[in-house]
Every structure is written in C-alpha cells, then in structure tokens.
Amino acid sequence: MKGFLEKILPAFFILFAFLIPVLTQDTYYQHTLNVAFLFAISVYGFNIITGITGQFNIAHAGFIGIGAYVSALATTKFLLSFWIALPLAILVTGIFGLLIGYPSLRLRGVYFALTTLGFGEILSLVFENWIPVTGGPMGITGIPAPTAIKLPGGISFAFDSKIGFYYLCLIFMLLSIYVNRQLLKSRLGRAMLGVRENEDLAQSLGISITGTKIVAFVLATMFLGLCGSLYAHYFRFISPVSFSVAETFRHVTMLIVGGKGTLLGPLVGAFIFTALPEILRSIEDYQWVAYGAILMVCIVFLPKGIVGLIKDILERLSNETVGKK
Amino acid sequence: MNGLILGGAYALISIGMTMIFGIMNISNFAHGTLYMLGGYCIYFLSTVYGQSFFLAVAISMFIVGLVGIAIERIVFRPVYGGPVLNDLLIALGLTFFLENGALLLWGSQTKSVKTPYTDVILHLFSVSVTLQRVIVLVASLVLIAALYVFLNSTRFGKAIVAASQNPRGASLVGIDLTRVYMVTFAISSGFAAAAGALLAPIFYVFPTMGSTPLLKAFVVVVLGGMGNVQGAVVGGFLVGIAESLGGAYISSDYKNVFSFIILISVLLIRPQGLFGKSQSS
C-alpha cells in the first residue's frame, strides 16, 4: 500500500501540475505559480548545501544574481540565444561557487558562512557600482524571452507567454526535485548528511569532508545559476535589489519553515511564502519583522519544518495503530 | 589618522564578538544590530532629549547591555550546544527582526547626531582632524584598557577568561557559567553600542547601519584569531589602517572589497588568525 501510494501520488501531482494552465486561464494565478516555481528551484539549491550538507550560504541571492546577470548580458550585449545563455549562466555560477567554496569550505565552523556573507556584500557592491556592465542601480532592461523551440513537423514551443514559461519552470523545478531525491538516496547524499551531522564521525568512515562540501556547494550554485537565468528571462528586467543579502533571508526562511534537508520542504516553503504575501497584502510593512520572528521560532520549536512535523505526526499515528493491534 | 580612528571603533565592535565566540562558541551575526541600537540610543538621548554626549554614550552602553542580556536569555540560550547552523540562522532571524523593527518604529530616513565636538578642528602633527574623531579614538582606547583591567585583575574577569579557555574546567572549579554568559553578552553588547554611539556623529544613524561594521568585525575577528581579545584589538587597527590606505590610494568605491580580500587571504594562508593557536584537527 505504502509503496503504491508513494508511486501514484507524485505521478498524480505532476499530471495535475501539467494540467493547471488548462484548468485556469487566470494570468494572475499563473504568474504566482511561476514565481513559486522559481523560488522552489532556488530553495532546492539552498537545500543541497544548507539543508543536506549543513553549511550556510549567505551569498545565496548573490549567486542567483551572477546567473541572472550572466544570462542577461549574454543575451542583450552578445546577442546569444537563451539556450546558450542558460548553460553559460549555470557554468559561470558554478565556477564562482568553486572559487569561493575552495578556500572557505576547508575549514570547519563558521568560516564558510563568514566568507559567503562577505562575498554576498561584495556582489551587491559590484552589481551596483560596475555601471558600464551591470547598469548600476538601474539594472538591465529589455532582456528577451527564451526563443521558441521549433520541432520538425511545424510544432513549436513558445516561452514568451506566462503559460509557456510555466511549463519551462515546471520542468526545471521537477528536475531540481529529481536531483535532490537522487542525491538523498545516493552515497554522495549520505556523505553530505554525515558531514552535517558529525564531521569527525564522517571523516572516520573515510568520507572526504572538504571534497563532499565542495561538490555540494558547486552543485547548489549551479542550481542558483539556473534559477537566476530563468528569473532574468521571465521578468525581462533585473536590478541589484533582487540579489542582496536580505533576499537570501527570504529564501532561507522558505527552506527552514518548509523543512531543511527534506525532499518536499523546499517546495512547501516556496509555495507558502509566495502565497502568504499575496494574501496578506495589508500587512506588507511588517513582513520582514514577521519573517525574522517566524525564523527564530521555527529554529527553536520546529527545527525540521512543516514537512518534518507532518512526517513525525504520521509516524506517531501509524505507530499508535500498530500498538492497538 | 583616519585609519587609527576607524581601527579603534572596529576594535570595540570586534572585542565583543570575539569574546562571545571564545566563551560560548557562537558567532553572533546579530552583533551589527547592537551597534545600530547604540546609534539610535545616542540619537534619542543626546539629540532629542539633550543629554551631554559622554553621559549619553554611557547610558546607551547600559541600555544596549540590558538588551544583550535579554537576547542571550531569550534567543541564544535555546541553541547552545546545537549545530553551528542553528546559531547562524537564529542570529540572522534576530537581525532581520531588529533591523526591520527599527525601520517600522523610527523610519528609514537617516538621522544625524550633533555634538559640540564635530565642529572643533585640531591640528596634530601637521594633520587636521575634528575633535569628535579624536574622542572616538581616545574613548575606544579607554574602554579597551578598562576591559583589560577588568579581565585581568578582578575575580569575575578572571572567571570569564577561565571560561573562555576551558568552559568545562571552569564550571568544575565552581564558576557559574550562566552568569559568565550573561556578563559576557552584556559587555559585548555594551561595547558594540559604544562603537555605534561614538561613530554616530561622524556617520549617520539608520536601521541597516550595522551591516558594514558587522562584516568588518568578522574580518577583524578572523584576522586576530577567533576568540582572541588581544588579536581583536590589533586586528581592528590593522583593518582600519589597511582600509583607509586602500581607500585613499586605490579606490574608495570598493573600500569594503579590501577587507574581504584580507578575509580570504587569512583563510587561505593562516586560518587560525595572526595570534591564534593552530587548529588541532
């Protein structure tokens, strides 16, 4: 029964997700879903390095910015196609991940968080001050939508509408869930969990701590590059504000509230924090104060997030029914 | 000269952070908000209520010291002994809570603090500086000296030093760690507030004013060796001087980049800091 449910439920949800644009034509909902998917891709990247491996990347939003700026510049200044700019953004972001990760992940404790905090601030400075390239505070405008894919037989997929982009985001989000799932099952993923839980113990089992952390970080940053590129081509406009350290805070709140290190936590967190501000427009001024309070409360009382809480409740329920028999 | 003045303030901020790291093994990412609270305290006390500058600095230190004690009790105590990730996250949550709280309460516009000393210009060794800047340097040195005397010659100060060297050993010989934590947080917050209050007349007061000093403090703390108080003092002056030289001779837009380069090079070459013991691992 359990195995059957585990197979059938995701398939049902994926089918449902593919049918949503058919069910509702409302562009507002489609937009909200697109934003939620973009957030989800980013938070899945966050999950790899912070949720699974336990290293806090404060430059998270900055790395998304690298992806966004690389992709935007490649398409506006060098007139490359989106389909070349996207892998380029992923590659460049990954290289920055390696450059930042290598010196700071060799050390234990807070050094990685410190270095990424510094790097995040530097990125904001560069985005704002390197005006000839990044456009400074004005950002980059006129980023083209992804070019349509033309298949033989006259079929073509266009991405300049919200629906087209919806499918693009959905596919990449499913990819990021898939990578997280495979990672959690694999030897590498277990090594990452080992590093998070107890570095000494992991090392005694022959796991290369530094190597594992660096692989996790580069993989995570590549997802951020992906997210940044999609972001740039969806909104067609980027500016430094979207990639500040404060923005990292929004993403980390999604991760923690959803459930760090879990497979569905990032998705749940991304949806909650995309939908909530839309519903609670009236208290917009208080949102950051509320985020701060929610994060602190969650760390103390709900360390595994909503998904972890539901899992615990389900386990307790099934244990109780077993006990009654 | 500017480097020295900035250095004094950096040392003040960093001492608190390094003490908390040394004793509680927590890197307080919310330290910058205490600096910010110091700035707002001095603004309200001296500009709005017209207290004299020095009295206002002292009261600011006291108020923010109390805030620090509250933060230790309510926010940090639940995460002691947990993974490093949790202290980082909870401190970040606290930072956002306080920064945006300040934004809601006091607005986003910058506030300037006027003192009688900002307009007095002194000529020392062919350099002219305002009296306010000299006061920053002298006050920092006095506070650092006072802390040094407290840590080395009073009973409780020695208990703090003992706790930073070996917490378990210290509690075995009857040192009350809970009180040590409380006093350490109070001192650390008070010093951050002092830095914020002293620099407020030179810079401005606004909700996110703490983020740059926070970064600088981290660079200083890493440079001096995490948990090392003397290291933080020397590191503070080194970073202040390096920054003002880099800003003057290379580029002032990217002033913060120099501290970051220092941070990366220290991590690559000597991660235990200039004065730290090498890691046993």
Kindly report which listed range (A3-7, A19-23, A188-192, B101-105) carries the lowest average pLDDT score: A3-7
A79 in any annotated domain:
yes
Residue B239 belongs to some domain of the structure? no
pLDDT at position A209 is 87
Residue A113: its pLDDT value, please?
87
How many Å apart are CA A262 and CA A274, to the nearest integer?
A: 19
pLDDT exceeds cutoff 80 at A38: yes
Cβ distance of B90 and A118 shorter than 8 Å: no
**Nearest alpha-carbon partner for A47 in A314, A311, A308, A315:** A308
d(Cα B60, Cα B15) in Å, to the nearest integer?
Answer: 18
Per-residue pLDDT tens, chain B, 281 aa: give them: 677 888 888 899 999 888 888 888 888 888 989 999 999 998 888 888 877 888 888 889 999 999 999 998 888 888 887 788 888 888 888 998 998 888 888 888 888 877 777 777 777 776 777 777 888 888 888 998 898 899 888 888 888 888 888 878 888 888 888 888 899 899 999 999 999 888 888 888 888 888 888 888 888 888 888 778 888 888 888 888 888 887 777 766 666 777 777 777 887 777 777 766 544 33
Does residue B183 sit within a domain?
yes
Residue B132 lies in a domain: yes
Q: Closest to B96 (Cβ–Cβ): which among A113, A249, A285?
A: A249
Classify B123 as helix, strand or coil: strand
Asked if B197 contacts B61 with a C-beta cutoff of 8 angstroms, the reply is: yes
Judge: A296–B97 Cβ closer than 8 Å, yes or no: yes
Q: How far is CA B209 from the centre of its chain?
A: 13
CB atoms inside a 10 Å sphere around CB B100: 22
Return the pLDDT at A225. 94
**Contact call for B268 and A103, based on CB within 8 A:** yes
| Nearest-neighbour CA in chain B from A109: distance (Å) | 6
Given a cut of 90, whether residue A217 has pLDDT beyond it is yes
DSSP secondary structure of A238-256: B-GGGGSHHHHHHHHHHHH
For chain A, what is the domain count?
1
- How much is the pLDDT for A3? 62
Do the strands B127-130 and B121-124 form a parallel or antiparallel pair, or are they unpaired?
A: antiparallel
Domain around A192:
28-244
Distance CA A42, CA A258 (A): 13
Give domain status of residue B262, yes or no.
Answer: no
Distances (CA, A) of A46 to A197, A250, B111: 17, 12, 37
Write phi, then psi, for A140 (nearest 5 degrees): -115, 130
Closest A-chain CA to B26:
A110
Residue-range definition of the domain harbouring residue B204: 2-209
pLDDT at A67: 94
Cα pseudo-dihedral A310, A312, A315, A316, rounded to 10 = -110
Cβ(B199)–Cβ(B36) under 8 Å?
no
Q: Is residue A7 part of a domain?
A: no
Domain count of the fold of chain B: 1
Residues of A with CB under 8 A from a CB of B: 50, 54-56, 58, 103-104, 106-111, 113-115, 117-119, 121-122, 125, 129, 196, 245-246, 249, 252-253, 256, 285-286, 288-289, 291-296, 299-300, 303
The answer to whether B65 and B193 are in contact (CB under 8 A) is yes
Instruction: Tell me the three state secondary structure of residue B132.
Output: helix
pLDDT score at A323: 61
Tell me if B35 is assigned to some domain.
yes
Q: How many CB atoms lie within 10 A of CB B150?
A: 15
Comparing A1-15, A221-235, B1-15, B193-207, the range with the smallest average pLDDT is A1-15
**B251 in any annotated domain:** no
Task: Indicate yes or no: CB of A110 within 8 angstroms of CB of B259.
Answer: no
Distance from CA of A286 to the nearest CA of B (A): 8
Predicted local confidence at residue B279, as pLDDT: 46
Q: Is the ipTM of this complex over 0.90?
A: no
In a domain, A263, yes or no: no
Region of poorest pLDDT, from A81-90, A118-127, B244-253 = B244-253
Residue A150 lies in a domain: yes
Q: Do A125 and B253 touch (CB under 8 A)?
A: yes
Q: CA B262, CA A247: separation in Å to the nearest integer? A: 26
Determine the residue among B96, B99, B216, B222 to mutate to test chain A binding: the one whose Cβ has the most chain A Cβ atoms within 10 Å: B96
Concatenated DSSP letters of B89-117: HHHHHHHHHHHHHHHHHH-SS-B----TT
Write out A47-116 in H/E/C secondary structure: HHHHHHCCCCCCCHHHHHHHHHHHHHHHHHCCCCCHHHHHHHHHHHHHHHHHHHHHHHHCCCCCHHHHHH
The tens digit of pLDDT for each residue in A163-211 reads 788 888 888 999 999 999 999 889 888 888 888 888 888 888 888 888 9
Contact A295, B90 (CB under 8 A): yes
Measured between beta carbons, the chain A residues lying within 8 angstroms of B226 are: 110
> Does residue A114 contact residue B218 with C-beta atoms inside 8 Å?
yes
In a domain, B134, yes or no: yes
Region A115-128 average pLDDT: 86
Check residue A325 and give its pLDDT.
52
Cα–Cα distances (Å) from A31 to A36, A164, A166, in that order, read: 9, 11, 8
Q: Are B259 and A125 in contact (CB under 8 A)?
A: no
Residue with the bigger pLDDT between A208 and A107: it is: A208
Give the per-residue pLDDT at A65. 94
If pLDDT is split at 50, 70 and 90, which confidence band does A227 have?
very high
Minimum distance, in Å, between the CA of residue B123 and any CA atom of chain A: 35
> pLDDT by residue (tens digit) across A264-310?
889 998 988 888 777 776 677 777 888 888 888 888 888 888 888 88
